[in-house]
Chain A
């Protein structure tokens, strides 16, 4: 199993450009998440999905959109990039089961995004 993979690994954008980050998982997980990681701030949840075709906002959703058209894929879009969106983006997934299995997250390797 590849686990959770993210594409691309690194990207440089100019202010106002758009891009899509792709997350894929092969563990048949129902739940998927997008986080951003900034120095000294830990991980902050951007959007999440509890199943194919469903998405919801997390803690810091402004400026981002997501789609979950297929169970294994979760896309994060930036419609008009801003320097404040320079960050490292992590995708994660988890089982839908009961208890701690639902809470245990499996992370991708991250995408480093620089917005100039």
Chain B
């Protein structure tokens, strides 16, 4: 069975600092992996996704994530945080059998301090 664990329900960084949001997954088959972002009072938007091939995936707004099979991780990073990055971030895993099998993590709320 699939599962997703996001380490840390809240992460706080200073503006300009590195952002690191952690995601570990379990899957019985090579997974599809996603990061979604949710701004206040809005729905989720796709940030980036991993399917196959290059393990470093670049997304929107300067975010990227690296798929590490040996560590079953898909951590999200951004070199320099901006105030506008303050949001909740969800990691998700799917085994490719249809979106109805997607499992979402509990979410990590990112706070950015001026």
Contacts and interface: CB of A to CB of B under 8 A. Distances in A.
Interface in B41-86: 41-46, 49, 51
Interface residues of A, number: 27
B98 A103 contact: yes
Contacts of B106: 40-42
A78 interface: no
Interface of B: 4, 9, 32, 34, 36, 41-46, 49, 51, 90, 94, 96, 98-100, 102, 104-107
Nearest to B102: A103
Contact of A104 (B9, B42, B49, B104): B49
22 contacts: A31-B100, A33-B99, A33-B100, A41-B106, A42-B4, A42-B105, A42-B107, A43-B90, A45-B102, A50-B100, A56-B100, A99-B51, A100-B32, A102-B98, A103-B32, A104-B49, A104-B99, A105-B46, A106-B46, A107-B36, A109-B43, A110-B41
